[in-house]
Structures are given as structure tokens and as C-alpha cells.
Amino acid sequence: MDTKSESSLKKYEMRGQQMLEAIERTRETMRSKKFDTIAVHGIYNAEQALLHNQGSIIEPAYLSAAQHYENSDHLEVALAYKMPSWAYSRIANPTVHYLEETIALMEGYGSEEKVSSSVFASGMSAIFMATNPFLTNPERKAINIVVSARCYGGTFMLFNERYGRERGIDVRWVSDPLDLDAWTSLIDENTRFLYGEMPSNPSLDVIDIPALSVLAHHHELPFIVDATIATPALLRPIELGADIVIQSLSKTMASSGFAIAGAVSAKHHITSRFGDDALKENFAQYIKLLPARDHGPSLSPLSALMILNDMRTLRHKVDVMSANTATAAAFLQQHDAVESVHYPGLEQQPGYATAKAQMRLVDSPTDENRYGHLLSFTVKSGAVGARRVLDGFSMIWRGTDLGRVKSVANIPSISTHQQQGEQGRELACLPDNLIRLCVGHEDVDDVIADLEQGLTLA
């Protein structure tokens, strides 16, 4: 290599260093802001706009599949990951980057930890990317994972079928996730991680994140939490001790319903007895730069922009929709045709105290508890009655969707949880007379009138 090229490489490395420092300064500035300010701006400021984006006030959608470089030295330094660059949209993209930085600030809000986020093409791909790196097993040892059985149907299938049946990983289900002894008894020296959902979809079970984090760390294991149903507006698991957080961005984070996406957020220096230093130091960045590059679950920049746009008003939407849901839960609870109601905000629920301790509307002046906008209920008239009620709604949409500004209802046993079979549903506590309801941003009186109308057919 000639000396001219060497000094030019150094020049690009130095520029890379300066760019990284500038991003870190912006993150630092934004960390001191309130949640709504973070949600509105992320790291996209006047400097980003003027220096890189022709002054555009809104983050631009970078639809180009790839990036042009100044010369071969620039290309070489960038592709060695020695300067921030995006190269090719499967690896990174500027619009996607603005979304990732905003989510990292939201998930890290109120915490001392540094947090990074990576986004992927769906919530399921985020769960795969967050868990698969811990399951590397070249020596073909008998490895296991310890998982709350009260989880999303897709997660159940990924763990049970793809990991368990196809790869021979021992999936140890915890049937009552509030039972700490049950978790403890399933952990051994071949366990790779603990995994739980808070609150769970669709059974609305809760977990004690601080207690399970302590338990996981005692065994030098990472604790992974899917907090999709809560969103960072109500719950930030990293602040409570968890290592890694999953969001299906397809749900409440993008409540307009214009995109499918998922996020993995991780604190820096996660606890794990397994994996090399790079994996542990900055897990979210590690999975983006290495395994995700090779698996390829990249997010479309247009979807990234749709989600970014929705997230700006997250706290207010979650506040209104949670209040509506609490009202609907109280209505259902006193209705003669209803057998039981599951909602973390109901005092009779076994997990009520645990939910109350963890779920709060961020930056609420009165430190208000809010419990999200998902509930489920069973009807006294069984599976057939549940179908009659669902079919009787005239405004509430029927579908597997949730997290919307529009109310949507569903029967999990015949839809989202159909494929896990009767045994799997029993494990997850999903009877066939259960209706899942996600209350939207309508006037709650109109939602209740529609519920009333459906329930008269029960």
C-alpha cells in the first residue's frame, strides 16, 4: 500500500470517529429531554437536516438501495465499519437509523443504562434476531431456554416448533409466570436465556421484571422481555433490570396500522454466560452488523418513516386508549353474559399488584398507572356464544389486528392461536370462549354501545 493511500485511510477513519462523536453528543443532549420531546425529534436535529438532508424538517425516506462513496479509501473504511455509513439497505439505511435512534432513546428513558436499538422487518424477526444468537451450539450440547408459556402465538410457534422440534432445543415452559420458584427450578448450567412477555398477548398475564432480572443475572443469563402490549410509554423493562426488550412495532407503536416491523433494544454490557465480548458489549448493534446482515430481515425505509411518524404522539394515544380500555373492562365485568375479564388494571386479577408496580404513564404529573389497551374476556355461553358476540359487533372490527386507533376484536383459539393445538392453548390458558379486544381511540361510549349490542346475542 502506498503512503498516500494510508494517510487517506487515516483521514476517513478520523472523520468516522468525529461522526460517531457527533451522534453520541446528540444522543446525550436528547437523553436529558422529556419523553414526548424524544418521541417527536429523536436524534434528527437542525444539524442533521442542514448538513445531510437539504434542510428537510421531516426525516426523509431514503429509498435508494445503496450508497455512493467518494473513493476507494472511503469505501474501504466504511465497509470495515470504521465510520458510520449505510452501504446497502439490507445492512443499514438513514431513515431506518433515525427510527432506531428514537426507539433507543424511548426504551432507555429514565434509565442509567446506555441503550441501542435495531429494527427488523417484523416483530417475529425481532424475536428471532434477539434469541437466535444465544442458541449457537457447534458442540451440539443439550441446551435449553426458560420461557413464560403466556406468550404470543407466533412466539410459541418459533420456540416450540422451530427451536424445539426442528433444532432439538429443550424449551422449558413456565405455566404460571408469577411463580418465581417455577422459573428457578427450570434453570440449569445449559440454560441460554429467560424470556417473558409483559403483559402477555392475549391472556394479559404479567411478570415481575425486577425479580426475574435478578434471578437471570444470578445465573449469569440474559433476561429478554417482549413489551409490545405496554409500549415504552407505560413500561421500560431495561429501567427495571431486563437486558433486552422486544417491540412488535406493527402494533401500538405504529397505531395507524401502516407497517409491519419489530425492534430489539438492549442495554450495553448485557449479562450472559454465553457469547463473545462483541455480543455482550452492544447486543443490538452486534445483531444488526453481523447476524442480521446474513439473515437479511431488513426493514423498508418507507415503513420506518410511517412508524416514526406514529410514534411521535405515542404517550397521548396510549393514555386515551388505556383509559377507554379500563372503562370497557369495568363495563364487561358487570355484564351478565360475561364469565371473566382479563385486564392488568382490574384489582381482582392475580397480577394486579405486580402490574401496578411496573406500568405507569411516563411523565404523568400524578404518576398515573395505565394498563394498556388490550383486554380479553370469556363469555358464559361457551365457544358458540363467543362467535355470536364477535359476529354481533357492527363497529368493532373482526380480525387478528391489535394496537390500532380503531377497536378490533378476535377469538384467539380459532385464529392467532389456532396452530398451537388444544394442548398448547391449555398451556397458554386460552379457552375457546375467550374474546380478545383491543380498544381504540374512538369515543368510549360508542365502543361500549357496540359491545352491548354484541353481548345481547351471547
Q: Is 305 in the site for ligand PLP (CB under 6 A)?
A: no
Q: Which of 226, 239, 310, 450 binds ligand PLP (CB under 6 A)?
A: 226
Q: Which is nearer to ligand PLP, 191 or 200 (CB)?
A: 200
Q: Per the structure block, which three cell numbers stand in for 408?
A: 378490533
Q: How far apart are CA 409 and CA 446, in angstroms?
A: 15
Q: How far apart are CA 17 and CA 253, in angstroms?
A: 33
Stretch that binds ligand PLP, among 98-106, 120-128, 205-213, 284-292 (CB under 6 A): 120-128
Residues 235 to 294 in contact with ligand PLP, rule: CB under 6 A = 248, 250-251, 260, 262
Q: Which is nearer to ligand PLP, 164 or 385 (CB)?
A: 164
Closest CB to ligand PLP: residue number? 123
Q: Is 123 in the site for ligand PLP (CB under 6 A)?
A: yes
Stretch that binds ligand PLP, among 112-120, 223-231, 319-327, 426-434 (CB under 6 A): 223-231
Residue 121 · residue 129 · CB < 8 Å: no
Q: How far apart are CA 439 and CA 445, in angstroms?
A: 12
Helices first, then strands: H and E counts in the chain: 18, 12
3-class SS letters over 410-440 = ECHHHCCCCCCHHHHHHHCCCCCCEEEEECC
x/- site string to ligand PLP, residues 175 to 214, per CB under 6 A? ----------------------x---x-------------
Q: Is 152 in the site for ligand PLP (CB under 6 A)?
A: yes
Stretch that binds ligand PLP, among 59-67, 225-233, 308-316, 334-342 (CB under 6 A): 225-233
Q: Is 154 in the site for ligand PLP (CB under 6 A)?
A: yes
Other residues' Cβ atoms within 10 Å of the Cβ of residue 395: 15
Q: Which is nearer to ligand PLP, 25 or 398 (CB)?
A: 398
Dump the DSSP string for 167-225.
T--EEEEESSTT-HHHHHHH--TTEEEEEEESS-TTT-----HHHHHHHHHHTT--EEE
Q: Which of 26, 228, 369, 413 binds ligand PLP (CB under 6 A)?
A: 228
Q: How far apart are CA 352 and CA 206, in angstroms?
A: 8
User: Among 417, 435, 412, which Cα is nearest to 160's?
Assistant: 417
Per rule CB under 6 A, count of chain residues that contact ligand PLP: 16
Which residues of the chain form contacts with ligand PLP (CB under 6 A)?
122-124, 152, 154-155, 197, 201, 226, 228-229, 248, 250-251, 260, 262
